[in-house]
Amino acid sequence: MKSLMIFAFAAASAVTAAQAQQPANAPKATNADAQRVVKLISSDKEKSRAYCDMGKIGDQIEQAQQAHDDKKADQLAQKADELVAKLGPEWDALMNGLQNVDENSKEGQEIGATLQSLDKLCAD
């Protein structure tokens, strides 16, 4: 997943969090936060599988949106929400915190690079 995709997941997670009425003013994410989450996901097979599946579904959502198939995109988004739940509250907190990080900033680039290391888990 590219760092842009990670920030897109952050936006999607924030929408899910808002729907769940979680606080919208999450603390700004740091690279240390991202490193903790990467370690947590990397060390848990179920979380690793959920992360990889989320990436695949993200690609499918993008394809459905390009085909203007809103129904399919919504169904896939629901599956993605289920996978996000499997990643745990630490992932949610990080994704909510990314809302306060400029993806083009040095800090945003560092976080993106840290999170990109999760992609190694998904090599087929």
Q: Tell me the percentage of the chain whose pLDDT exceeds 70.
A: 80
d(CA 95, CA 100): 10
Total domain count, the chain: 1
Q: Is residue 50 part of a domain?
A: yes
Of 83, 109, 99, the residue nearest 22 (C-alpha): 99
What is the extent of the structural domain holding 95? 3-21+28-118
Amino acid identity of residue 119, one-letter, is D
At which residue do the structure tokens 């999450």 appear? 26
Examine the pLDDT at 14 and tell me if it is beyond 90: no
Q: Is residue 123 part of a domain?
A: no
Q: Is residue 63 part of a domain?
A: yes
For the chain, the average pLDDT equals 83
Q: Is residue 36 part of a domain?
A: yes
* Contact call for residues 61 and 55 (beta carbons, < 8 A): no
Q: Is residue 46 part of a domain?
A: yes
Examine the pLDDT at 8 and tell me if it is beyond 50: yes
Q: Is residue 124 part of a domain?
A: no
Chain segment 53-107, per-residue pLDDT in tens: 988 898 899 899 999 999 999 999 999 889 989 999 999 899 889 988 988 899 9
d(CA 111, CA 74): 28
Record the pTM: 0.77
Of 29, 44, 56, the residue nearest 86 (C-alpha): 44
Mean pLDDT for the stretch of residues 6-28: 55
Q: Is residue 17 part of a domain?
A: yes
